[in-house]
Structures are given as C-alpha cells and as structure tokens.
A = this chain, B = another copy of it.
Amino acid sequence: MDFKTELKNYQNIVEKELEKYLKKDVCPEIELNKSMEYSLMAGGKRLRPILILSTCKLFSGDYGKCIPYAVAIEMVHNFSLIHDDLPAIDNDDFRHGKLTNHKKFNESTAILAGDGLLNYAYIVISNDLKNTTEQQELSKKLQVFNEFAESVDRMIVGEYVDTEFEGKPISSEYLEYMHKNKTGALIRLCVRIGAILGGASEEELAKLTTYAEKIGLAFQIKDDILSEEGDSLITGKPVGNDRVKNKCTYVTKYGIEEAKNILNNIIQEAIEIAETYKENGEFLKQLAIYIKDRNK
C-alpha cells in the first residue's frame, strides 16, 4: 500500500472512532456538546492518533488496544487548540479554514468546551483502565496514563511560555524548550504510547522516543514556515500571522532559509531511525517526509 492510501486509511479509522465515542458518550442536546463536537470533528490531520496506531503496528498487528488513547489524545489536542485560539491568548478567528470555536459559539462556551474535551480524554482513559483485567496490560496502561498526564502538563507550560514571550526577544535555548513542550510533548507521547502498548523493549522505546523528538521539533518548525509562506487558502490561517503577532518562531529567529535547513537536517535524522526498521519502518519514514513537505 502506498503512503497516501495508508495515511488515508488511518485517518478514516480515527474519524470513525471519534464519532463512535461522541455518539456513545456525548449527549447532543446541550450546545456545549455541539461545541465540543464542532472542534473535534473539524477535520484536522489526525497526526497524533495516527502516530500512536502506526508505532504500535511496528510491533503488533493489533492496535485495537491503542484506540482509546488515540481518541483521548485527539480530544486533548483539540482542547489545546480551542483555548489557544481564545481572544485572551492567540485571538485567532479561523482554524482548519473554519471559524474558531469562540467565533462559532461564544467565548464562555469555548472555554468550557476546551475544559470538557480535556476532561473527556480522562473519562475515556478511565473507562479503558477499568475494563482492563490482564495485569501486565494494566500495568503498561497505568504507565501510559501517567505519561499522558505529564505530557499534557508540558504542553500547557509550553503554551504559557509561548504566550509570555510574544513580542519579546528569546534565546535559542528557550525557543527550543518552548517548541519541545508546546508541540513536542504530545508527539513524543504518541510514539511512546504506541511503543509501550505494542510491546517495545526499553531499547526500542528509547530509539523511537528520539525519532518522536525529531519529528515533533520538525513539525513545529514546519508550522512556523507555513505561517510565513504557506497558502492561507490551504493552511486555513492568514499568512504572516506569527510575524504580525510578534511571535517567536524558528522563522522570526533564524530567517526562512536557515529554518528550512534545520528542518531538513532534523527530518534526515528521523528518517535514519525509521530506516533501522527496514520495510516495517516505511510508514514512519514517509510520515517524517510528509511532515516536512506538507502544505497545511
């Protein structure tokens, strides 16, 4: 199967699972739930859940046990988007080419919808833990739950640092720290969830964690580049958005050409790790290239 078909297949699986969890658990009558569903089903790339499933598949054909965590991570991701877009934080009107949550609904609904999605992720996890009877499996999942909560904390801290440094000079160490936390923490978590639940050895877990750290940083740098020179009709965000807002990014810090060089080098390092898995690693290799080459 070629990469694009496989990616699309994964996306379809994730969409279906998200809908299933929504239908089963989120009561549609109140507007708050509509608001949560609006953002969750707004059609992102589903990169994070796909990373969980495809990493698990390196070790095990059955990624079914990862599904609740794939759903939970997408809920957390969308919580963070809703809150980041709020007037008091990034004040963005569009996301994925659609109105942001607070523009579509209102600000108080958006705040509570974000809260609801973050908390809903833990409902999903708690249901899965409660229904896991096999001891070794449960022990792995408790490790995952712990890393999950710790990573979300890092993401929130990263977003805080991003907000605080808006319009201020930033050291390259701090810029990397911010990116590592804001975007990197969840991407790293996803690969680790897939590896842990798939049954990776400690050594493989460490290797894949490095892969994840590379693509996480690359993802953010590419975002910075797209913000500067992407097609706003495709990205769904206005061009030059970061610059206008005086955001500290790889582009504003190093210039566009150097940012691209850094991106290429990091992706190359990620590819080399994926290649140690021979044909099994093909999807993760192509995913790294996709992160570099995507136009949204």
Question: Which A residues are closer than 8 A to B by beta carbons?
Answer: 30-32, 79, 83, 86, 88-89, 106-109, 111-112, 114-116, 118-120, 122-123, 125-127, 129-130, 135, 138, 142-143, 145-146, 148-150, 152-153, 156-157, 159-161, 163-164
Q: How far is A129 from B30 in the complex, measured between Cα atoms in Å?
A: 33
Are B157 and A119 touching (Cβ within 8 A)?
no
Known: A142-B126, A159-B112, A163-B112. A119 touches B118 (CB 8 A): yes
In the bound complex, residues from chain B placing their C-beta under 8 Å from that of A123 are 146, 149-150, 153
Are A119 and B88 touching (Cβ within 8 A)?
no
Can you identify 22 A-B contacts, CB atoms within 8 angstroms?
Answer: A30-B157, A30-B160, A79-B115, A83-B112, A86-B108, A86-B111, A88-B106, A108-B160, A108-B163, A109-B160, A112-B159, A112-B163, A115-B115, A116-B156, A118-B118, A119-B152, A123-B150, A126-B145, A126-B146, A126-B148, A129-B145, A129-B146
Q: How far is A106 from B115 in the complex, measured between Cα atoms in Å?
A: 19
Q: Give the oligomeric copy count.
A: 2
A245 → chain B, closest Cβ, in Å?
13
Are B130 and A111 touching (Cβ within 8 A)?
no
A30 → chain B, closest Cβ, in Å?
7
Q: A116-B153, A119-B149, A138-B138 are in contact. List 10 more A-B contacts (CB 8 A).
A: A83-B112, A83-B115, A86-B111, A88-B108, A89-B108, A112-B163, A119-B156, A126-B149, A126-B150, A130-B146
